[in-house]
Structure 1
Amino acid sequence: MREPRLMHTVTRVTLFVVALWAIQGMAALLGMSLGPLGVQPREVAALHGVVTAPLVHGSYSHLMANTPALLVLGVAMLYGYPRASRIALPIIWLGSGLGVWLFAREAVHLGASGLMYGMMLFVFVMGILRRDRPSMALAMLVFFLYGGMIWGVLPLKPGISFESHLFGALAGVAAAFLLRHRDPLAERRVRKRPVDPRREEEDPVIGELWRDAEAPEVPRRRRDE
């Protein structure tokens, strides 16, 4: 069952990324500006950007930079936590957008970076909280591949919405704490030692009897000897 579920997850995440490329291509083909679909902090008329901003990007290079991480992190999250991700994704999507709308700098914030940071922190924190083997393996994988992303929550580069990264990451951490018990933990396989019926500690009641039963019978001396 795991292989079909993995392929189904890969297909879903791939279709989402393909949709992002289709939106970008359609906008370029029609000469449309995607800026009005971004988040404009504290602009009530642009509140829709909380929903639409992750679907649009400032350029092809921006979308290209996000594509590999969206694929890997999306598959890791949806495959590793199929139940929790149904709630975690809306939390990350809307949480990052609302955080930007409420507290970010005056600018147009767009792109799926907030979603990407939220998924990365969600998978990583889930591994720390749950501590079963699949969760820890996924946490180590995403940390090895994208752990350096954590510096993106700081205002180190002008022109990059670190606020989207920051609030996406916070939403991912919050979702992990809230939903850590949503999916069942993996069962731990315990290797059972082979049972030796001849060991007296296995059956203290008859522990000594088998020895007497299998000891070679010594002929008793006749009384007249």
Structure 2
Amino acid sequence: MVELRTPAQIEEMRAAGAFVREVLDTVAASAEVGVDLLDLDALAHKMIKERGATSCYIDYHPSFGAMPFGKVICTSVNDAVLHGLPHAYRLQDGDLLTLDFACSVDGWVADAATSLVVGTARPEDLELIETSRRALDAAIEQARPGNRMGDISAAIGGVAREAGLKVNLQFGGHGVGRTMHEDPHVPNDGRAGRGLKLRPGLVLALEPWFLHTTDELVMDPDGWTLRSADGSRGAHSEHTVAITEDGPLVLTA
């Protein structure tokens, strides 16, 4: 069921969005060569505890997960692009790292993701990250009353195709509110003018993610981390966006 939030509720969601942004920025600034992924997770965990927030990940156990996630932030490295389970790994020079984080503050959830390069960057990695960000910007621009869900999806897919990238439709954006994953699903490609009509009060996590040379994923033995089928690297950008009478409001900006 698709739920719409009142303007007052959207105002209440700002605190969750601001905190998610704070955690992502702090963890990203700490992601240096030699830092362990488990230390990044511990930092996010500490911030959650100090804020009195609630992790959306630690007990999360959907049908595709082998067990409860058990950590509080996704850390996907290089050819891993989604649901990276933090483990004992020290970041190396040139690693492409994606951080994905969601939590609940005062009963409201926000969700966001960012990709970055640790140390020396490969130009093609920076280009892939920038493409995911441009796709996110294009999606946000379409998140307006009167548009259709297909307008958001088509905007993402259009940026991908212009960059010569394939789009995977297994995992995409979603509604967000009292829980992390709510209706509706937001595919990362589609046809403009089709699908659910966008109305004020709809809050969506929009999250284009791309791989360099494939759209196929394989699951790690950890039962969570999703990697490219051909070993190519991935990038992922995400914001929580509220659709208002005045247009899109990015709660995790």
Q: Tell me whether the two structures share a fold, i.e. TM-score over 0.5.
A: no
Higher relative contact order (CA 8 A, sep 6+): 2
| Higher strand content, 1 or 2 | 2
| Higher helix content, 1 or 2 | 1
Greater Cα radius of gyration, structure 1 or 2: 1
